[in-house]
Structure 1
Amino acid sequence: MENRKKILVIGSSNTDMVVQTSHFPKPGQTVLGGKFMMNAGGKGANQAVAAARLDGLVRLIAKLGQDIFATEALSGFRKEGIDITYLRQTFEYASGVALITVAENGENEIVVASGANMDLKPADISNEAFEEVGLVMMQCEIPLETISYVADICSRKGIPVLLNPAPATSLPESLLSRLFMITPNETETEVMTGIYPGNPKDMERAAHWFLNQGVQNVLITLGKQGVYWQNKTQKGMVPAVQVQAVDTTGAGDVFNGALAQAVVEGCSLPAACQFAVKAAAIAVTRLGAQTAAPFRNEIV
C-alpha cells in the first residue's frame, strides 16, 4: 500500500448553496423553490473527494478564506482522508461559494463567486507537494497562471497532468502541449476547438484538434451518450450507464476523480473510461456534489 502513487489535485473549493425547483426562472421572474441544502463543492474539492472515496491516495492544494465555510471544508477533507498539508488560507478573500438551482429533470444552473480560489497563486504551490505523486489533476476554477506553472513543474518532473477544462475557456498551446489528458464536455469542446462534437465525425475532428496541440489523450464527455476517447493510435466510445437522473451537479467531477484513480492504478484508457462512467452514473442518482460521490464497493 505504501508504494501506491498519490493523486495531487490542485483546484477550487466552494460551498454549494442548492435550491430545488420545478423549473428555472426566466429573467426577472421569481420562482418558489423547494428544499434548500448547503453542501461542500468546487471542482477541485469534488474531484479530490471522488478519487479518495474510490481508494485513491489524494493530496489537495486549494485556497480558502478564514471563515465558517473554510472550517466546514477542512473538516470534510479530513473526514475523507485527504492530505491537506499544502492547502492555503487567506484573510484577504472569502471562501468560494456557488449558487445552484436544480430543476425537476435533474438539470442545473450554477453561478460561482470564486473568492479565494482565484487567489491561488504559483507562490502557493509547494515543491514538496509533488513528492510520490503519480498524477496531477487540475480544472479551470483557479488562475490560468497557476495552471500553467504547475504544468511546467510536472513537465520537468515527468508527472502526467489531467486537465478538466471547466468552466470553458481558451487555453494556450504552451499549456495544452504539456497535458497527458484533457476531459472537456461538449460545450467546452466547442469553445476550445470551434467544433461541436454532435456526431462521430465531429468528435474525431475535435479530438484531432487537441492532439495537434500536443495533448496525448482526449476524452470528450457526452452526458447521457457516454464518453468519446482518442489518442494518436486508438479511438473509441464508451456508452453511459442509463439511470434516472436526480441531480447532475458534480457528475463530471465524479467522472474525473474516478478517471484519475483508474489511470493511477494502471488501467487502459477504455477501462478507465468504463470505471469513470459507472461512478458518474451512480452520482447523478443522488443529490449534491461531494455527497453524491460513490465509494469503491458500490461500483460493480
Structure 2
Amino acid sequence: MEQKSLVIGIGELLWDVFPNHKQLGGAPCNFAYHVSKLGLDSLAISAIGHDELGDEIIRKLDAVGLNYDIQKVDHITGIVQVTLTGEGIPQYEICQPVAWDFIGMKPKYSKIAKGAKAVCFGSLAQRGEVSRATIRAFVGQVPDSALKIFDINLRQEFYSKELLQESLGECNVLKINDDEIKIVARFFGLQGDDQENCEELLRRFNLKLVALTCGTEGSYLITKDETSFLETPKVKVADTVGAGDSFTAAMVVGLLTGKSLPETHQMAVNLSAFVCSHHGAMPEYNRELVF
C-alpha cells in the first residue's frame, strides 16, 4: 500500500461493553473502517494493552480487514460501559487510564503524516498528555492541502476550552453535533443559533467545512460559499453507535473523490442511516448495498 494514499484515523480504541454483549468501538477505528469499505486506503492508529481484550481487538480488526498500526503498551485495553436509551441513543462511562491514553509518536509516523490525504482526530484521546502530544505532532505534519478533520466527540468531562481551541486551530474541517455546538458556543461566546454558530466557527478558525449533525432533525454541511441541509432518513434504529463516525467517513470520501457538496452530503446521510439500522459501529456491507 502506498503511504501517500492513506486516510488516517488516530485516537481511542476500545470495547463498548453493553449489558449483554461487547462491541469494538472508538471513533478513529470506526472512521477508518468505513473509509476502507468505501474504497480508499485507510490506517487506524491507536494502542491496546498486553491482555486478552487487546488480543481480541486485533483478531476483530483482522477479521474486518482493517489496516492498522496498533501499539501494545503497559496499560489495560480501553473499556467503555454503554447503556442505551429507549431511542437507541448511547450513554457512556469511559474508564481511565487505559492503553489509548498512551499512544506514542513512532518515527515512521512522520512519513505517514506527511503523505496523508486526510487525518481524523477527536478530543477524547487527547485527555492524556502522551496521546495528546502524539496527535498534535501527527496532525501538525499532515500537509495543509490535506483534510484535517476534528470530529469533536465531546465525552463526559474529558475536554476543555484550551484543548478545543488548540484542536480547532489545527484542523480545517470540523464535525460537531447539536449538543456539542451548544457547549462550544458557551466556551467561545457565540450568540447565534446552531447553524449561525457553526458559520462563525468556520470564519473564526478559517475552516474549509463544518458538518453539523442534529440527530433525527437533519444535518448540515457548511462551507464559505455553500450550505447543504438534508433531513435524516427514517429507519428502524437498532442503535446509533458509530453512526456519526460513518457520516464523517463518507463525507471525507466524497470530498476526496471530487463529489459536489450535495452529493457528498447524501453519501454521508445514507451511510449513517444504514449504520443506525444495524447493531454496532462496523456492520458488514459493500458500497453498492448502501448507495
TM-score range, shorter chain: 0.7 to 0.9
What percent identity do the matched residue pairs reach? 20
Question: Is 1:298 aligned with 2:285?
Answer: no
Question: Is 1:260 aligned with 2:243?
Answer: no
Task: Compare relative contact order (CA 8 Å, sep 6+) and give the higher one, 1 or 2.
Answer: 1
SS of residue in 2 equivalent to 1:62:
strand
Q: Partner of 1:248 in structure 2?
A: 240
1:180-259 mapped onto 2 (5 Å cutoff)? 180-194=172-186, 201-259=193-251
Separation in 2, partners of 1:2, 1:148: 23
Q: Which has more helix, going by share of residues?
A: 2
1:1-300 mapped onto 2 (5 Å cutoff)? 5-19=5-19, 36-84=20-68, 86-90=69-73, 92-114=74-96, 115-122=98-105, 126-130=109-113, 132-143=115-126, 144-155=132-143, 158-167=145-154, 169=159, 170=161, 171-194=163-186, 201-290=193-282, 292=283, 294-300=285-291
- Against the structure 1 CA distance between its residues 124 and 253, is the aligned structure 2 distance closer, same or farther, given a 3 Å change threshold? farther
Q: Partner of 1:32 in structure 2?
A: none
- Against the structure 1 CA distance between its residues 98 and 294, is the aligned structure 2 distance closer, same or farther, given a 3 Å change threshold? farther
Partner amino acid for 1:128?
A: K
Normalising by the residue count of structure 1, what TM-score does the alignment of the two structures yield?
A: 0.83
Q: Partner of 2:129 in structure 1?
A: none
Separation in 2, partners of 1:121, 1:52: 24
* Contact 1:193–1:209 (CA under 8 A) maintained in structure 2: no
Separation in 2, partners of 1:229, 1:109: 26
Separation in 1, partners of 2:108, 2:202: 27
Separation in 2, partners of 1:235, 1:286: 29
Separation in 2, partners of 1:108, 1:204: 27
Query: Deviations 1:61-108 (Å, cap 9, x if unpaired)?
Result: 111111112112112222333222x32111x21111111112343122
Separation in 1, partners of 2:284, 2:124: 20
- Against the structure 1 CA distance between its residues 57 and 297, is the aligned structure 2 distance closer, same or farther, given a 3 Å change threshold? same
SS of residue in 2 equivalent to 1:98:
strand
Partner amino acid for 2:237?
A: A
Deviation of the 1:283 alpha carbon = 0.9
* Contact 1:4–1:57 (CA under 8 A) maintained in structure 2: no
Separation in 2, partners of 1:13, 1:249: 14
Query: Deviations 1:221-256 (Å, cap 9, x if unpaired)?
Result: 111122112122222212211112121111111211
Separation in 2, partners of 1:172, 1:42: 19
Deviation of the 1:282 alpha carbon = 0.8
Q: How many residues align?
A: 277
Partner amino acid for 2:36?
A: A
Separation in 2, partners of 1:167, 1:97: 17
Partner amino acid for 2:95?
A: A
* Contact 1:119–1:142 (CA under 8 A) maintained in structure 2: no
Partner amino acid for 1:70?
A: G
SS of residue in 2 equivalent to 1:45:
helix
Deviation of the 1:268 alpha carbon = 2.5
- Against the structure 1 CA distance between its residues 124 and 189, is the aligned structure 2 distance closer, same or farther, given a 3 Å change threshold? farther
* Contact 1:283–1:294 (CA under 8 A) maintained in structure 2: no
* Contact 2:11–2:28 (CA under 8 A) maintained in structure 1: yes
Structure 2 gaps of 5+ residues are: 127-131
Separation in 2, partners of 1:174, 1:113: 24
- Against the structure 1 CA distance between its residues 80 and 187, is the aligned structure 2 distance closer, same or farther, given a 3 Å change threshold? same
Deviation of the 1:173 alpha carbon = 4.0
Separation in 2, partners of 1:142, 1:103: 25
Normalising by the residue count of structure 2, what TM-score does the alignment of the two structures yield?
A: 0.85
Cα RMSD (Å): 2.6
Partner amino acid for 1:161?
A: K
